[in-house]
Amino acid sequence: MAKGRISPQELKRDPLMEQYLSTTTWAKSRSQSILKGATVVGIVLAIGAIAWLVFSRRANNAAEAMAEAFRHHNAVVANPIPPNVKGYAYTTQDEKDRKAFEAFEKAANDYPSYNEEVARFYAVTHQLNFDPDKALPTLQSLAQKESEAGAQARLALAGRYAALARYEEALAEYKKLKQNPYSVPLQVIDVAVAEIRESQGQPQQAVDLYFSVANDSEWRSTVVGIRAANRLSILAPEKYEQLPELKSGNPLSALSGPMM
């Protein structure tokens, strides 16, 4: 036999060839089972791919619904509307509130698995401006949630109670909020409580709270700190004189709207 050539007998004894022949024989004997298994795997992969596509599309639609609602939320209110305004604009605050409410409610109803609490919260903040009686139960419900939206709803609920002169209920809500405030600054709560104490004819308690906030160097130049200092200058001028100098800078608008 020529040098380098392998005889058929040697080829049959080759371990790799023997493994190949063995595997081929095994596969042929089980071809139906393998085909069924491959089919099942294919179906599972196809279902997974479809589910991923549906989930991805739904998530994108939910995000767009929220983005659309925020376009109304951030819309300009002016009469007449300036010609260079981009995006939504309304001639009255009432019109803006109603449109924003509808958009956030739609986002919450159409996509309840995506940011429903946040959408409900923003919806109710607009509803408070045109239908406060109907907004109140929603705030009460949201305030029970152990979440950021729940904390913001409790802050708004307490403020609503204060506006209705339901001071004890407002104080109870502020107390609960202070125990689990999430991102709501404690200084915001203290100033709100101080204002209630003023309304209840308890100026000393109000002074103590105002001074605590205004005397905080990190809060002195914020909207909240300035607000506390202004009330302090009226209620207790001698305490006002003890406050640190007002630093220059851009005050934080901590009470200008939802902090989410």
**pLDDT score for 15:** 59
**pLDDT score for 212:** 97
Question: Per residue in 10-46, pLDDT tens?
Answer: 545 555 555 555 555 645 555 556 555 556 555 655 5
**pLDDT score for 58:** 77
At 193, is the secondary structure helix, strand, or coil? helix
Alpha carbon distances (Å) from 99 to 60, 154, 160: 22, 24, 22
**pLDDT score for 114:** 83
**pLDDT score for 6:** 52
**pLDDT score for 59:** 85
* Average pLDDT per 10 consecutive residues for the chain, totaling 260 residues: 52 54 55 56 58 66 92 95 92 97 96 91 97 96 96 97 97 97 97 98 97 94 95 96 75 43
Report how far residue 258's alpha carbon sits from residue 230's, in angstroms, rounded to the nearest whole number: 23
**pLDDT score for 57:** 78
